[in-house]
Amino acid sequence: MKHFLWITLIPALLLCACRQTDTNGNASAKADCVLVKDYFPDVVNNIPVTHIERAKFPVIDMHSHDYPVSDEEIAGWIQVMDRVGVEHTAIMHCSWIGRPFEEVVKAYAPYKERFRLWCCFDYTDIDTPEGLERSLQTLERYHEMGAVGIGELGDKGEGDLYARPVEGKGIHIDDSRVKPLLAKCAELKMPVSIHIGEPIWMYLPMDETNDGLPNAAPWHVDTTRCMGYYGLVNTFENAVRDNPSTIFIACHYLNMNHDLPRLAAMLDRYPNMYVDIAARVAESAHTPRATRDFLIKYQDRVLFGTDNGMDAEMYHNIFRVLETNDEHFYVPEYNYHWALSAFNLPDEVLKKIYHDNAERILTEYK
């Protein structure tokens, strides 16, 4: 799910930029009153500002959702995709956004070349042998209806609450009840895309020490009520290790932008694991050199994704970060106080991340 929603609740943390008195008392007083949530400075540097209207190479978007509410909106989205260079988009089924799967199938049936459908697990009565059998049959039926993968599963600590028609409360991805479903995914050649946890700042104290405070505060995770981030990472790692024939895609860099060496170690260990970069521009582009190195080293394991609606500007921002050498710019809707710098990725890496890795998973895996 996207993470740049407008802030609704922010601690009154002040930027104490300048406390000395000077001849301009008013200016100092104003600096003392700027809230972190309001801090989006104008860039004054005379440096390149690049607008990327269209991706340099064809794009497969491996992480999006059923945002349109009418045929007209689907048609409008296709026009945007044509303009920005997106060949096709994965519509991930998820309890948070969109219609029941049968309706999704119907809505996108005329546009099979432009949208590929992904479905959830059905956990109804999963504790019983009959319920499990039904769930396996549902998976086969969705596959026959056109589902190419599973997702977006989503576990932020309480289990796979993204599931439909019932939440998988308490059901983590390494749960023994899920194992037959993961085996079925391998058999049907359906990759499994899963959102694990949240960016690390959302687990830290909401005070002046929290580097990601402006965006972390509204998404704060209370771990007294659910599993913490690294516990969830362990459940994911267990599943990836114990189901080597199943392809797993960790959404949003596994929410591990803060610890790329650990993410790299997991990718080294598990050839059946991939990451998508959806909705983590701000979390990656404040550490552009480390992220660039990571993306180049793991260029065969990274998938492009958006997860942020249908606007052309949303695509432009992501292309700018991947393709250009721009530095020190702000995108206020990402909600962090920090400036971003782009990755300037080589062409051969862009081609793979934009398109070829996804194409390989969706075709050669079959």
Under rule CB under 5 A, residue 61 binds Zn ion: no
User: In which element (H, E) is residue 100 found?
Assistant: none
DSSP symbols for 247-285 = -EEEGGGGG-GGGHHHHHHHHHH-TTEEEE-TT-HHHHT
Tokens of 100: 């029941």
Interface pick for Zn ion out of 61, 152, 237, 323 (rule CB under 5 A): 152
Binders in 1-20 for Zn ion, by CB under 5 A? 1
- The verdict on 198 binding Zn ion (CB under 5 A) reads no
Taking the complex as a whole, the smallest distance from the CB of residue 191 to Zn ion amounts, in Å, to 15
Give the residue among 36, 263, 274 at the shortest CA–CA distance from 149. Answer: 274
Under the binding rule (CB under 5 A), the answer on residue 155 touching Zn ion is: no
Query: Which CB atom, from 284 or from 324, has the smaller least distance to Zn ion?
Result: 284
Closest separation in Å from C-beta 25 to Zn ion: 49
Radius of gyration (C-alpha) of the chain in whole angstroms = 21
**Residue (151 or 288) nearer to Zn ion, CB:** 151
Residue sitting closest to Zn ion (CB): 307
If the CB atoms of residues 237 and 307 are measured against Zn ion, the closer one turns out to be 307
Residue 122 binds Zn ion, judged by CB under 5 A: no
User: Closest CB to Zn ion among 170 and 309?
Assistant: 309
Reading the block at residue 17, the tokens are 């930029």
With residue 341 as reference, give the H or E element that holds it.
none
Q: Which stretch binds Zn ion (CB under 5 A): 71-79, 137-145, 158-166, 307-315?
A: 307-315
Look-up of token digits 């309706």: 103
Per CB under 5 A, which region of 77-85, 105-113, 131-139, 149-157 contacts Zn ion?
149-157
Q: Which is nearer to Zn ion, 63 or 301 (CB)?
A: 63
Q: Number of C-alpha atoms within 13 angstroms, CB side, residue 345?
A: 30
The CB-of-92 to Zn ion minimum distance in angstroms stands at 6
Residue 1 vs 104, nearer CB to Zn ion = 1
Task: Find the part of the chain contacting Zn ion (CB under 5 A) among 53-61, 116-124, 301-309, 352-360.
Answer: 301-309
**Contact in structure between 135 and 112 (CB atoms under 8 Å):** no
Alpha-carbon distance of 124 to 165, in angstroms, equals 7
* Candidate ranges 152-160, 266-274, 316-324, 331-339; the one touching Zn ion (CB under 5 A): 152-160
**DSSP single-letter state for residue 328:** S
CB nearer to Zn ion: give 213 or 362: 362
Is residue 307 close enough to count as binding Zn ion by CB under 5 A? yes
- In whole angstroms, how far apart are CA 43 and each of 205, 280, 288, 327, 329? 30, 22, 18, 10, 7
Structure tokens at 292: 């660039």
* Least Å from the CB of residue 249 to Zn ion: 11
Distance CA 195, CA 182 (A): 16
Question: Which of residues 10 and 303 has its CB atom nearest to Zn ion in the complex?
Answer: 303
Residue type, 30: K
* Residue ranges binding Zn ion (CB under 5 A): 1, 152, 307
